[in-house]
Structure 1
Amino acid sequence: MDTTAALVLFAAITTYAIFGGADFGAGFWDLVAGGTKRGGRARNVIDHAIAPVWEANHVWLIFVWVLLWTCFPEAYASITLTLFVPLTLAALGIVLRGASFAFRKAVFRTRDRRNFGAAFAISSVLVPYCFGAVIGAIASGRVPAGGKAGAPWGSWVNPTSVLGGVLAVCVAAYLAAFFLVSDARRLSDETMVAYFRRRAIGAAAAAGLVALVGIFVLANDAKYLFDGLTSRALPLVILSAVCGLAALGLLTRRTRHGARLAAVGAVASLVAAWGVAQWDYLLPESLTVSAAAAPTGTMTAVLVATGLAAVLIVPAFVLLYVLDQKTLLPEESMPEPAHSPLEQVSHVTDEPAG
């Protein structure tokens, strides 16, 4: 039963890495799109892509934390006590990102829109970096077992955590670019299709370079994870590389099918490789899945609730994404006002009386 709970946990992490990663990656492209005039067209595609679904993506993160807390409380205590700094930064970043995304179309002044847009874009980079750093801390064995707190800074400011953070940002940008190519096609905007296609290729090259450097980092700083990736998880590492290359091949051939699915496969295989590499440890070399498991009654109740959620909630998510892909959902952003309130007052006072 503990193995089943761990597999469900990693499946939820993988799902969040895909959907949440694409969401954060869109914010990265918002950040580097350029000024208001130059980047306006790209930002319109980004807003159109994420507006209907961005709130739903974080449900997977909530599910991950609830499952970890209830099924593996010792691991939850150790992780949160040790890594409270990056986790707090990530939580604040998610709140700031959501508020900024909602408000930047509701304000009238250009300066306010720029400020909210900058907060949204910067948070979109901060959050995946912090989550990647957390994974690096866990994978490198810097989180002690026993529900004890480790080093509050050294646990996530180290070579493996920096690698994890940078790789998370690169992978999110890579995945988002493929999604945005598809969304630009749905909008029949071939200029933006070419724009995001170039960025997908660049992000893939950057992610590949970071992964290559990561081989040497892990070999020296996270030996257990490195040994797992080069042995039992090696088929998944190879599968991730093959899917990544296939995604690029399909993208450069301007095909309308398969590229996005291959990109998703590359990310899913990468996350799965991490899980397999450190199996059967939740905290490498200090806490196994079975040792961290909650009592059987708790595990049973959580898995039953998970099964009910899969029956009742997952179909709603599928419907949401299908409607979004068919452009049948309204955007959350407010329409652009024709005039600001001051301009409207001016128009009223300028009208002749009578």
Structure 2
Amino acid sequence: MTAELAAWVMVLAIAAYACAGGTDYGAGLWDLLAGGPERGRRPRWLIDHAMAPVWETNNVWLIFVLIVMWTGFPTMFQAVFTALWLPLALAAVGLVLRGAGFALRKPTHRLAGRRLYGAMFAVASLLTPFFLGAALGAIASGRVRTGTAASADAWANPTSVLTGLLAVAAAAFLGAVFLSCDARRFGADDLVAYFKVRALCAFAAVVVLALVALPVTHGDARYVWEGLTGGWGLALVVLSAVCGLATVLLLLRRSHGLPRWTAVAAVALTVCAWGVAQRPYLLPTSLTVAQGAGAPHTLRWLALVTVVAVVVVGPALVLLYRLDTMGELQPLTDADTGAAGAPGDDC
């Protein structure tokens, strides 16, 4: 595996996590905004049922990203985790709290416990994508270099903050689109329009933030800005915008299958556009792909592991996602987990 190919494997894995994990983060955000126990009961019911079969699986993509970065580009790995240890640590804590909150709130008998775990899940679903996006913004702005010490300026800057907000808005868009389709799948017709409206609002937020980011990145992340406004980077950005608009039109036309694909394409193409815009750098404008690559024999072993993962794990993931979107997978019920409890438990 050449260094260039390994870099693209990493970008594609980031795109996969942005889509799969982003959908889950978006669902958590709408859980946070669903309202009180009575008002938010139906949306949270749908979120639980839609996420339960696949939420743990989606983290596979993040693990794969870390493996490729660590083994294929150790210099980049060291620089990123040295300069950005705080936002990445906060994102890791958010991942743990989010998973614990989602897993524990359903089997918990007491209402107070369910509220606590639900709050953990929802708040972490907001903060985790923000900190991950802020880390990407720090890299794109060129503030992360080999030997850069950790500092607030590395990730608390205009580009990082905007990228974090864009990550949250994109996750909200994906989550609402999928939940609108899932509402139809689960026969919750009252929630189809509920999440459709939220998908349209999230898309509007993405557009506004993208427009705000144009002048900000022009001065703060000039190299990546030039890559995104010309050549293949611009072509991918335009395709992403077309897919986003297609998602909106399909939702308005009450289509409930295709919007998932176009929404995923919009987010994935945006990540790929970022990868194209950074070429040939891993860390603009200080570390190229060739300079940051590991030893040739390490890249060969990485290629072998990647092929094995594609052959062994890939079909299983495709089957899982396919069965989930077809409604063949059913989450545990209250009777399965004992969550229903006895009268008087909810106090």
2:35 and 2:198 map into 1 onto residues whose CA distance is 14
**Quick one: structure 1 residues 106 and 343, their matched pair in 2 at CA, closer, same or farther if it must change by over 3 Å?**
closer
1:174-203 CA-to-partner distances (Å, cap 9, x unmatched) read 011111111101012211001000000000
Alignment partner, residue 245 of structure 1: 245
Alignment partner, residue 277 of structure 1: 277
Consecutive unaligned residues of structure 2, counting only runs of 5 or more, are none
Superposed structure 1 runs of 4+ greater than 6 Å apart: none
2:66 and 2:180 map into 1 onto residues whose CA distance is 32
Alignment partner, residue 196 of structure 2: 197
1:256-300 CA-to-partner distances (Å, cap 9, x unmatched) read 332121111111111111111111100001000011011110000
Per the TM alignment, residue 333 of structure 1 is displaced from its structure 2 partner at its CA by 6.1
Alignment partner, residue 79 of structure 1: 80
Letter in 2 for 1:49: A
Alignment partner, residue 340 of structure 1: 342
Letter in 2 for 1:113: R
Aligned 8 A contact 1:51 1:333 in 2: no
Letter in 2 for 1:214: A
Alignment partner, residue 229 of structure 1: 228
Alignment partner, residue 348 of structure 1: none
Alignment partner, residue 311 of structure 1: 311
1:246 and 1:328 map into 2 onto residues whose CA distance is 27
Letter in 1 for 2:325: Q
Alignment partner, residue 326 of structure 1: 326
Alignment partner, residue 121 of structure 1: 122
Q: Which has the larger radius of gyration?
A: 1
Alignment partner, residue 37 of structure 1: 38
Consecutive unaligned residues of structure 1, counting only runs of 5 or more, are 345-354
**Quick one: structure 1 residues 150 and 37, their matched pair in 2 at CA, closer, same or farther if it must change by over 3 Å?**
same
**Quick one: structure 1 residues 37 and 71, their matched pair in 2 at CA, closer, same or farther if it must change by over 3 Å?**
same
1:154-182 CA-to-partner distances (Å, cap 9, x unmatched) read 10000000001000000000011111111
1:53 and 1:158 map into 2 onto residues whose CA distance is 34
Match of 1:282, SS? strand
1:72-92 CA-to-partner distances (Å, cap 9, x unmatched) read 000000000000000000111
Aligned 8 A contact 1:105 1:333 in 2: no
Aligned 8 A contact 1:171 1:207 in 2: yes
- Identical-pair percentage: 50
Count of residues in correspondence between the two structures? 342
Per the TM alignment, residue 60 of structure 1 is displaced from its structure 2 partner at its CA by 0.5
1:230-280 CA-to-partner distances (Å, cap 9, x unmatched) read 112111111111111111011101123321211111111111111111111
Aligned pairs for 1:158-177 (under 5 A) are 158-177=157-176
Aligned 8 A contact 1:28 1:121 in 2: yes
1:48 equivalenced with 2:49 (yes/no)? yes
2:279 and 2:79 map into 1 onto residues whose CA distance is 18
Alignment partner, residue 109 of structure 1: 110
Letter in 1 for 2:292: A
